[in-house]
Amino acid sequence: MTLQSNIDVQEYGSLIQAALNAKLATEDSTYNHAINTKLDNDKLLVWLNEPSETIMDINFKNQVEQIIAPLLFPGYIVKFKPGLNLVERPNEPPESSRALIYHLHHGKYARLLIDNINDTQLFESKSGNLGIKLMNPDFFWFPRKSNHMALQAVTQAGKTRFITYLLPNLKGFSELEAERGSIDDSTNALIVIDPKIDPVLREESMRLHADYIYPKIDKSDYSFINDVNTKLGQMIDLIKHRAEILKEQPKTKFKDVWVIIDEGLAIPEMANTKSKNIYFSFLDRLLLMSASTQVHVILTGQAFNAGQIVSSFARLQFSIRILMTPKVTIENSQYLFKSLDEASINNLIVDEDEYGSLGVGIITSGDGQILPFKAPFLKGIR
């Protein structure tokens, strides 16, 4: 812990305690200090001295969150976690042996600035997990833990740039894991499905020798979705093949393969019902079957209505989820962030930086915590 954060812990700690007393004071709390707090670098505990007038319920949790989120900003970021998150306070009398826990991050998460798209941002955690950095100083995506990614944003919000950022990192990830022992069955690590033929995504896919699938101008609209379905079918075969090997050698890890589908919703728009149905069922199967075989899906879309893009069960397979929007609402968060309600949305501080609201929003990565997100900024790319 740095000296700076020690000061923060003390100063913010007394500020929080005083603010909660001032704002939530009842006859009760002013008499016997019913609300107590303990701030640490990564968490805040809030507990009551029972019997208290205050009820420790979701309302109380939200009330406290409403006070602490702006108060701790920018010293700490309060991460949202649905439900009443109680922890034990060991060795305390029954009057105060439980506390609400708020998970914090010391300091803001800052946007990554990428000077050179070729530079990868890979990181090995203490427990040996390989991660891809998404924000400074320490927010990572661990793809072997959170297999599939869903990214929702309206047009021009930065979906395609974000997956462009990921491409070299994903390829680097596969190569590093191969060095660490995963079996290279000479599958291409990168499958990029790009219905919009984005020039930057295309160029980057070419440079990295990705398997790049796009609508060909001289062919019919149906030919594109047929190409996509053929590729998804091949991926399902690959998973089945790998699963056979796993039966004999359950510890085997395979080369990580990334199926990146930009604008996954737009693809079936151009198709007849039959190819549409094939597309959805392949996507569902891919999401449901692939976890143990190191096949990952990264899907972007403007909305993630279940039934329209994937089944609600398959949607649950996206353990890392991003919504890019400067204004989170019940409407835009209902597909990927169902646990957010009006109160928790208001408590999430989605702040801007000198790059404005570009690629700004919220993220969750499998542990249930939701926090503000800022996409890496790619310098020198159109």
By CB under 6 A, name the binding residues for ligand ATP: 153, 155-162, 196, 358-359, 375-378
Task: Please report how close the Cβ of residue 277 comes to ligand ATP at its closest, in angstroms.
Answer: 25
* 29: Cα within 13 Å, side-chain hemisphere: 19
> What angle (nearest 5°) sits at the alpha carbon of residue 369, between those of residues 138 and 39?
75
Contact call for residues 15 and 73 (beta carbons, < 8 A): no
| Partner in contact with 155, chosen from ligand ATP, Mg ion, none, beta carbon below 5 to 8 Å by kind | ligand ATP
- Identity of the residue, 240 or 379, whose beta carbon is nearer to ligand ATP in the bound complex: 379
Task: Please report how close the Cβ of residue 195 comes to ligand ATP at its closest, in angstroms.
Answer: 9
- Identity of the residue, 131 or 359, whose beta carbon is nearer to Mg ion in the bound complex: 359
- Identity of the residue, 156 or 249, whose beta carbon is nearer to ligand ATP in the bound complex: 156
User: In the structure, how many helices (H) and strands (E) does the chain have?
Assistant: 11, 18
Taken as a whole, the chain contains a residue count of: 382
Contact call for residues 89 and 98 (beta carbons, < 8 A): yes
> What angle (nearest 5°) sits at the alpha carbon of residue 287, between those of residues 117 and 198?
35
| Partner in contact with 157, chosen from Mg ion, ligand ATP, none, beta carbon below 5 to 8 Å by kind | ligand ATP
Q: 239, 240, 246, 229: which is closest to 295 by C-alpha? A: 239
Q: Which two tokens stand for residue 367?
A: 């542990």
| H or E element at residue 310 | none
Q: 369, 256, 259: which is closest to 319 by C-alpha? A: 369
| Partner in contact with 187, chosen from Mg ion, ligand ATP, none, beta carbon below 5 to 8 Å by kind | none
Task: Please report how close the Cβ of residue 172 comes to Mg ion at its closest, in angstroms.
Answer: 23
Task: Please report how close the Cβ of residue 305 comes to ligand ATP at its closest, in angstroms.
Answer: 17
* 74 prior amide bond cis, ω within 30: yes
- Identity of the residue, 48 or 336, whose beta carbon is nearer to ligand ATP in the bound complex: 336
Q: Which two tokens stand for residue 354?
A: 């000198």
Site string for Mg ion, 168-187 (x = CB under 5 A): --------------------
- Identity of the residue, 158 or 172, whose beta carbon is nearer to ligand ATP in the bound complex: 158
Site string for Mg ion, 269-308 (x = CB under 5 A): ----------------------------------------
- Identity of the residue, 156 or 186, whose beta carbon is nearer to ligand ATP in the bound complex: 156
Q: How far is CA 318 from CA 125, 135, 152, 369, 381, in A?
A: 22, 19, 12, 14, 29
Task: Please report how close the Cβ of residue 58 comes to Mg ion at its closest, in angstroms.
Answer: 38
- Identity of the residue, 103 or 196, whose beta carbon is nearer to ligand ATP in the bound complex: 196
- Identity of the residue, 80 or 304, whose beta carbon is nearer to Mg ion in the bound complex: 304
- Identity of the residue, 105 or 159, whose beta carbon is nearer to Mg ion in the bound complex: 159
Task: Please report how close the Cβ of residue 153 comes to ligand ATP at its closest, in angstroms.
Answer: 5
Give the separation between CA 328 and CA 364, rounded to whole angstroms: 14
Q: Quick one: which of 121, 146, 147, 160 contacts Mg ion (CB under 5 A)?
A: 160
Task: Please report how close the Cβ of residue 382 comes to Mg ion at its closest, in angstroms.
Answer: 13
Task: Please report how close the Cβ of residue 77 comes to ligand ATP at its closest, in angstroms.
Answer: 20
| Partner in contact with 378, chosen from Mg ion, ligand ATP, none, beta carbon below 5 to 8 Å by kind | ligand ATP
Give the separation between CA 359 and CA 166, rounded to whole angstroms: 14
Contacts with 200 (C-beta within 8 Å, 6 or more apart), sequence order? 160, 161, 164, 381, 382
> Under rule CB under 5 A, how many of the chain's residues touch Mg ion?
2
Task: Please report how close the Cβ of residue 278 comes to Mg ion at its closest, in angstroms.
Answer: 24
> What angle (nearest 5°) sits at the alpha carbon of residue 156, between those of residues 170 and 162?
10
Residue 152 sits in the site that holds Mg ion (CB under 5 A): no
Amino acid sitting at position 122: L
| Partner in contact with 116, chosen from ligand ATP, Mg ion, none, beta carbon below 5 to 8 Å by kind | none
Residues in the site for Mg ion, rule: CB under 5 A? 159-160
